[in-house]
Amino acid sequence: MNISTTTPHSLLLRHWRKQRGVVAIEFALVFLFGMVPLVLFTLSGVLIFAAKQSLTLAAANGARAALHYGTDAQRQSYACQAAQQSMQWLITFSGETPDCSSAPITVSAPAACASGAPTSVQCITVTTSFDYDDHPFLPGTKTVYGWVIGQPLSSTATIQIDTSGG
C-alpha cells in the first residue's frame, strides 16, 4: 500500500508559492487602469474649476478697474488690462491675444443700463471666456467634459457709472 506523504498544509504551501507575484501584478493593473484615469479626471476637473474662478475674478477686476477716472476709452482700456492680468495663465495656455472687443475678453462701451436704473447711470460690462473644447487641459478630456460643459466657460461683471456729476 502506497501512502502519500502529502498533507493539506504542504499542498497549500505549494499553491501559495505558485501564486507569488500575482498580487503585485493585480495591483499594477488596477492602479494603471483604475486609479490613473480617476486621478487625471479629478485633476482636469480641478483645473476647470480654477479656470472658472479665474474668469470670475478677471471679470470682477476688470469691472472695478473701469471705475477709475478717465474717458470712456481709458475706462475700457483699464478694464481690459485688469482682466488680462487676472486671467493671464489662461491666455498664455490658450495662446490667444485679447483685443477686448472679442473673446476671451470683451469690454463694452458705456451704455444705458437695464430697465430700472436712472437715466444718468451708464453701465460697462466686462465678459471673460475660455473655450475648453478648443484648449483642453488634458488630452482626451474634451470628449468627457464636452457633454458637461457644452459651451465656453465665461463670466460677466457689470458696473454702473453715475454720469450726472453730482
21-30, 45-54, 72-81, 142-151: least confident range = 142-151
Q: Grade residue 4 by pLDDT with cuts at 50, 70 and 90.
A: low
Backbone angles phi, psi at 107, to 5 degrees: -120, 120
Chain centroid, CA 157 distance in Å: 18
- Indicate whether 43 pLDDT > 60: yes
Residue 2 is assigned to a structural domain of this protein: no
What is the span of the domain harbouring residue 87? 8-162
> For residue 9, is pLDDT > 70?
no
Count the domains in the chain: 1
CA–CA distances in Å: residue 44 to residues 39, 47, 49, 54, 128? 9, 5, 9, 15, 20
Position 165 pLDDT exceeds 70: no
| 85 within domain boundaries | yes
Provide the pLDDT for residue 157: 96
**Which pLDDT value is given to residue 139?**
78
DSSP string, 137-154: SSTTHHHHHHHHH-S-EE
Which grid cell is 59?
471679470
Residue 18 maps to a domain: yes
Distance CA 164, CA 160 (A): 12
Q: Which pLDDT score, from 0 to 100, does residue 11 have?
A: 65
Residue 45 backbone phi and psi in degrees, to 5: -65, -40
Residue 115, helix vs strand vs coil: coil
> Averaged over 68-96, what is the pLDDT?
92
Q: Is residue 3 part of a domain?
A: no
* Mean pLDDT score, 31-49: 84
Q: What pLDDT is stored for residue 62 in this prediction?
A: 95
Average pLDDT, whole number, for the chain?
Answer: 84
- CB neighbourhood size of 114 (10 A): 8
Q: Which range has the top average pLDDT, 1-15, 72-86, 137-151?
A: 72-86
Q: 157: burial class by Cβ within 10 Å (0-12, 13-18, 19+)?
A: buried
Handedness of CA 82, 126, 60, 137 (dihedral sign): negative
Beta bridge partner(s), residue 162: 121
pLDDT surpassing 90 at residue 31: no
Residue 66's pLDDT is what? 94
